[in-house]
Structure 1
Amino acid sequence: MLMHSKGKNQRIWSLPRLAIVGLSLASLSLATTSIISLQPVMAKESDRLAKASAELPVVKSAALGTNMDVPWSKPVRIDDPFEGNYVGIFDRNYFWRNFVNNNARVEVISLWSRNSIRVLLAYSDRHCSYGSYYRTLIRVPDCLVFNNTLQITNLYIKLGEQVFRLEGNNNTFKVSDELATALKNSPSKNVSIRLLSETGETVDSAIGKRTVEGWKAIY
């Protein structure tokens, strides 16, 4: 009797145990299925991004300069021999203003990528004299053009009511996840920026609407 009762109890308690094991196996199976099902989606998205990058115009250098010949305000694939390959967008804005005690042509050039923003602040001014008597009569001045750049220590970006202040190194500023999201979601209109140089000069400029639209492909 006791032996029979003991065996019966073992059989009775084995049922819930089997149910628990069955549920555990089912959960594991579902989790494995979910992971496996996500893999093709992630691979497909990766392939899409790789294909989109391959179709972009190619720029062979990430170096900034005033005489650059690049597609402005549109995403490009950068194949730089020192920095590697990545997607970015170049922007340029220029204007005249009283700068470093001269009426100068100021040019703000920037490169926007997922991990960083690089900025070049350049300016040029003309010093003219009328030289000889003949040149004075026909009023043809002798002019010298001076070109220079300034080191930028701080970059301010105004997105809506929010202002991001970035501290840089060699005119390069890191892009945080928060800033990347804000850039991506920025409305398609001009964005105000402010540059602060190591000599204390402050220059206000703007990023054009087309570049702002291109941010959505970068961030």
Structure 2
Amino acid sequence: MAVPTAPLVLVVEDEPAQREVLAYNLEAEGFRTARAANGEEALLLTAEESPDIIVLDWMLPNVSGIEVCRRLKTRNETRAIPVIMLSARSEEVDRVRGLETGADDYVVKPYSVSELLARIRAQLRRTRPATVGQELSFGDITLDSEQHKVFRDGNAVKLGPTEFRLLAAFMEKPGRVWSREQLLDRVWGRDIYVDTRTVDVHIGRLRKALCKHGGEDPLRTVRGAGYALG
């Protein structure tokens, strides 16, 4: 029932061939993609899909990439999403303008797909480290996403794939309160229908596994809001 939740990359490019080639290469590397052909569509998809990172062309019809970036970075709900700006403008003043508008990185066209992929992974190491093989730790809990292993106070913790992804989400953002709906989107994916009560069942399993060798329950239930680590 559970599906892998690879990072979702929103590709915003008005040139169809470039958009499809980039999306194809991202999917070949294991990413999920959403695609927008203009600025309005990019803003709509960002609100609907909550992408993990946005690859944004500067030159877009109607609403420019710079304006899209500015709007995203001024909204609390979207300002933390990394934005990589693509542009044929190679002058220093244009790079500076893109970065000052809020872009997290700036790539000049024509670009190497392998370099762009490396830059995407670099941004995701900061925002979703478990998805790019980073080892995470919180208190006495360690999660090794490459080897798919979890340890608590030196003891191996056996988790199913869903519990592992739940723990990874919590450990990427300790202290953040996740609603059941947010956990469903992150762990199960938006395309899968799962009852929100299923989240409670898997949280219970995760708690039991983490406390099997002793220690306090590291997960906190926030009444009326959801769950948090720490």
Same fold (TM over 0.5): no
TM-score by length of 2: 0.22
Q: Which has the higher helix share?
A: 2
TM-score by length of 1: 0.23
Return the index of the structure with the highest Cα Rg: 1
Q: Which has the higher strand share?
A: 1
